[in-house]
Amino acid sequence: MEKSSPALSQIFEPIRADLQKVDEEFARHVQSKVALIPQIGQYIRTSGGKRIRPAVLLMAARLVGYTGDRSILYAAVVEFIHTATLVHDDIIDDSDLRRGRMAVHSRWGNDITVLLGDYLYIKSMAMALTHDELEIIRNLCDVTLHMIEGELYQLTKNGDADISEEEHFDIMRRKTAFLFGGCAQIGGMLAKISKEQEQALREYGFNLGMAFQLVDDLLDFTGDAAAVGKPIASDLREGKVTLPLIHLQQHGSAGAGPQIVRDIIAARNATPEQWHELLRCLKEHASIDYAYRRAVDFAEKAKKPLYAFPPSAERDALLSLPDYVLSRDR
């Protein structure tokens, strides 16, 4: 994989002050007389997330000439929704770590964390309702429902070594891509653009989200555990069969790889020897290369709709984001 792209801080430079305001908005809305809520909220806020989703919304709003402050609120709303899915996902996956730190449920327990996720979901909608923007609220509700459906669908496929590529992509679309698409579209909707331009922004975000998730899945095989912030092979040990493994199942049926995948799923654990052999099989059948090529395809598809907009610093930043996503190592 070639790794050359602008740093995220460079891409986000035009909206650095706005992202800071989003963080402040998040902190303000997580305040509660129940002290545990702001305590956990602060823990989540300082856990090192990249803020890509709110940044896409902010940059899309600037792209279409919006100069008001509602973009800050809606960017905080999508960060609330994203955070709610993370804390719930970590319970479902029984993940001890999130971005190199103890996951919320590991520190505060499942019962508190389930309720916190619920609180964040409801809070996000309450925040969105402070402005009378029915179409935006409907968009946010649709996106959130897709994400929960995606999580439920993934659970039905958990531990299924025979999951198809299309089934896997359907999960990715629901769990990740729809929120990215919604972020870009909502940014555009703030300036009352045409439906065609709205759709162009949605398509940009959707394809960016697909590329993002494919690269995220690849980090399970190519990343450094300390950099990624979770143990390598964690996806497979949780029973998640991602695109490189689906490709291996289809093209390496005569070798040891598919059986190792099933053994790891069954044991929910991978020995160093199994992991080394599995990586060898993935390399032999170019399965990681295949998954990366699919990520490149989605990244290129993300860029095309942006040419419906005139050249600008914001368009350049949005065009750079897919290249950054492809170069991620954490």
| CATH number of the domain residue 225 falls in | 1.10.600.10
Flag whether pLDDT at 86 surpasses 90. no
Flag whether pLDDT at 2 surpasses 50. no
H helices then E strands: how many in the chain? 18, 2
What is the amino acid identity at position 17? A
Residue 3 lies in a domain: no
What does the pLDDT read at residue 109?
84
What value does the mean pLDDT of the chain take?
90
**How does residue 128 score in pLDDT terms, banded at 50, 70 and 90?**
very high
Cα dihedral 209, 213, 216, 218 sign? negative
**Per-residue pLDDT averaged across 302-306, rounded?**
98
**Per-residue pLDDT averaged across 180-192, rounded?**
96
Q: Which residues are within 8 A (CB) of 328 and not within 5 positions of it... i.e. 6 or more apart? A: 215, 216, 219
Residue 201 lies in a domain: yes
Residue 1 lies in a domain: no
Domain extent for 192: 8-327
Q: Contact 116/37 with Cβ under 8 angstroms?
A: yes
**How does residue 193 score in pLDDT terms, banded at 50, 70 and 90?**
very high
Q: Contact 102/96 with Cβ under 8 angstroms?
A: yes
What DSSP string describes 150-185?
HHHHHHHHTT-TT--HHHHHHHHIIIIIHHHHHHHH
Domain count, the chain: 1
Looking at the DSSP bridge assignments, the partners of residue 139 are: none
Flag whether pLDDT at 242 surpasses 80. yes
**Per-residue pLDDT averaged across 155-164, rounded?**
94
What does the pLDDT read at residue 95?
73
Percent of the chain with pLDDT over 70: 94
What does the pLDDT read at residue 227?
58
Spatial distance between the Cα atoms of 121 and 285, rounded to a whole number of angstroms: 42
**Per-residue pLDDT averaged across 136-147, rounded?**
96
Q: Which long-range contacts (CB under 8 A, 24 or more apart) does 86-91 make?
A: 86/44, 87/44, 87/113, 87/116, 87/117, 87/120, 88/113, 88/114, 88/117, 88/151, 89/151, 91/117
Distances (CA, A) of 188 to 51, 68, 73, 209: 18, 12, 14, 17
Residue 198 lies in a domain: yes
192: exposed, middle or buried (Cβ count in 10 Å: 0-12, 13-18, 19+): exposed
**Per-residue pLDDT averaged across 143-149, rounded?**
96
Residue 2 lies in a domain: no
**Per-residue pLDDT averaged across 307-327, rounded?**
95
What does the pLDDT read at residue 3?
45
What does the pLDDT read at residue 157?
95
Flag whether pLDDT at 246 surpasses 80. yes
**Per-residue pLDDT averaged across 251-265, rounded?**
85
Output the pTM of the full model: 0.92
What does the pLDDT read at residue 64?
97
Q: Contact 95/103 with Cβ under 8 angstroms?
A: yes
What is the amino acid identity at position 136? I
Structure-token pair, residue 30: 């997580």
Looking at the DSSP bridge assignments, the partners of residue 101 are: 98
Residue 230 lies in a domain: yes
Lowest mean pLDDT among 16-30, 43-57, 315-329: 43-57
Flag whether pLDDT at 85 surpasses 70. yes
What does the pLDDT read at residue 42?
83
Percent of the chain with pLDDT over 90: 70
